[in-house]
């Protein structure tokens, strides 16, 4: 096993600073809004099985400000079902927006989705989903990443490891408190993409 994978494997076994599995709604909520500046649209979707990943152009100007540091959005991806639970409830889908600062530290902004009304932004993304595994597809239309965030950006904040495939412990987790919706048809389209 390569050294970085060996280190990750050992860290994954410790349960120290792992990403939150079950968030308690009574946990401290950060009411100061998350500072977000998302300007550019993703350039392509990559169907790598689970999760579906949206790649950003190298010059994209999408950032968040957290703990007085600027983090740049590198990519985002979706998990079905959601990886985190809230008060034991597992939601239909979870979006992870992956950011990195100049020190190489990771900040993950997680958005929870529940089944309900169709989501117009997801519909635009889903139009471009590659149907074959390991395939890339250019987006048919620009997507405003801000529309993948709830209007109220209060959040739970944790320090932990980065999500799969490695568990290296250098991630700041921001889980937005208010879920968005997607329709059951959108959820099914995501699940049947390969």
CATH code assigned at 63: 3.10.200.10
Confidence of residue 3 (pLDDT cuts 50, 70, 90): very low
Q: Which residue has the higher pLDDT, 166 or 151?
A: 151
Q: How many CB atoms lie within 10 A of CB 131?
A: 10
Domain containing residue 137: 3-191
User: What is residue 147's predicted lDDT score, i.e. its pLDDT?
Assistant: 94
Q: How many whole angstroms separate alpha carbon 67 and alpha carbon 63?
A: 13
Confidence of residue 99 (pLDDT cuts 50, 70, 90): very high
Tally the domains of the chain.
1
Checking if the pLDDT of 132 tops 80, the result is: no
Confidence of residue 158 (pLDDT cuts 50, 70, 90): confident
Condensed to tens digits (0 to 9), the pLDDT of residues 100-126 reads 999 999 999 999 999 999 999 999 888
Backbone angles phi, psi at 39, to 5 degrees: -110, -45
First to last CA, the chain: 29
User: What is residue 48's predicted lDDT score, i.e. its pLDDT?
Assistant: 73
Highest mean pLDDT of the ranges 9-23, 32-46, 165-179: 32-46
Checking if the pLDDT of 1 tops 60, the result is: no
Do residues 137 and 24 touch, judged by C-beta distance below 8 A? no
Task: Find the Cα–Cα–Cα–Cα dihedral 38, 179, 143, 153, rounded to 10°.
Answer: -20
Q: Which segments of 15-152 are extended strands (E)?
A: 22-23, 35-38, 44-47, 52-55, 62-66, 69-79, 85-86, 89-90, 93-100, 106-115, 135-138
User: What is residue 6's predicted lDDT score, i.e. its pLDDT?
Assistant: 47
């Amino acid at each position: 096993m390569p050294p970085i994978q060996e280190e990750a494997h050992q860290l994954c076994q410790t349960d120290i600073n792992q990403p939150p599995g079950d968030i308690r709604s009574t946990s401290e909520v950060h009411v100061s809004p998350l500072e977000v500046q998302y300007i550019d649209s993703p350039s392509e979707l990559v169907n790598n099985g689970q999760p579906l990943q949206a790649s950003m152009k190298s010059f994209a100007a999408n950032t968040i400000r957290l703990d007085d540091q600027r983090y740049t959005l590198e990519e985002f991806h979706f998990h079905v079902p959601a990886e985190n639970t809230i008060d034991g409830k597992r939601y239909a889908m979870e979006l992870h927006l992956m950011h990195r600062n100049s020190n190489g530290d990771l900040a993950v902004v997680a958005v929870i989705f529940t089944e309900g009304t169709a989501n117009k932004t997801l519909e635009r993304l889903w139009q471009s989903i590659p149907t074959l595994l390991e395939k890339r597809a250019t987006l048919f239309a620009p997507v405003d990443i801000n529309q993948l965030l709830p209007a109220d950006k209060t959040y739970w904040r944790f320090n932990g490891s980065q999500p799969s495939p490695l568990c290296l412990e250098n991630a700041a987790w921001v889980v937005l408190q208010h879920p968005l919706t997607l329709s059951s048809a959108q959820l099914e389209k995501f699940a049947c993409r390969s």
